[in-house]
Structure 1
Amino acid sequence: MNTQATFKTSKAQRYLGTLCKHFGHKVPVQMDGDRGRIELPFGQCELAASDDALQIEVSAETKGNLDKAARVIANHLERFAFRENPQIEWH
């Protein structure tokens, strides 16, 4: 199962790095240029930064874990990007 969201921002690369560094202290993380992967115990998050957006894709084995992973990523992004007041809508 997976869900996706797009956060329109000119600071996508910064937020990608911030999310990966933050979670890298707790779980396996890979970051290579404008892409990142966060491996949570209950799901994975793929990130891709462009000049005007941060693409986020969360996947998990169950709906409950998918919802939990999406909530964790969104909550952290909302805290890190509080000045931009992101509204994360999953599709």
Structure 2
Amino acid sequence: MTAFTFLETHGMPTSQARVQTAEASRYLQQLCRHWSHKFKVEATPEHGTVPFGEDRVCTFDAEPDALVMRIDSADPVNLTRLENVVADHLARFAFRESLGDIRWSRAA
């Protein structure tokens, strides 16, 4: 069972953010490439998955006008930490444009 399958079947807390940008695919690929040095990342130009651990995973979906990011984590503290890590990395890769505040919304 993969980390993502475990999280999906066990109803872990999730957090999602939708960031308006015409460069969603580019940022998705940069983020996945960056983390592929430490984690077993799966990525296409439209979808990426980064398993940050057995109970933490981030998925990225590139839409024509936005990057949708979702974090699943068994631990709310890790969820908050990963929200910050992912948002900070995206901001660094997107330094040429103003993405505004990245707002995460949570569901259990």
- Shorter-chain TM-score range: over 0.9
Q: Unpaired runs of 5+ in structure 2?
A: 1-12
% of aligned pairs identical? 36
Q: Say if 2:67 is the partner of 1:59.
A: no
Unaligned runs of 5+ in 1: none
1 CA distance for matches of 2:83 and 2:52?
A: 11
Q: Give CA-to-partner distance per residue, 1:22-75, whole Å, 9 cap, x none.
A: 000111110134000011136210100011000000110011011111111111
> Aligned Cα RMSD in Å?
1.1
Stretches of 4+ aligned residues off by more than 3 angstroms: none
Deviates more, 1:4-13 or 1:39-48: 39-48
Q: What TM-score, normalized by structure 1, do the two folds share?
A: 0.93
Task: Tell me whether 1:39 sits opposite 2:71 in the alignment.
Answer: no
Does the 8 Å contact 1:44/1:69 carry over to 2?
A: no
Equivalent of 2:28 in 6, 13, 16: 16
Whole-angstrom distance in 2 between the partners of 1:24 and 1:89: 25
Q: Please say which structure displays the higher CA radius of gyration.
A: 2
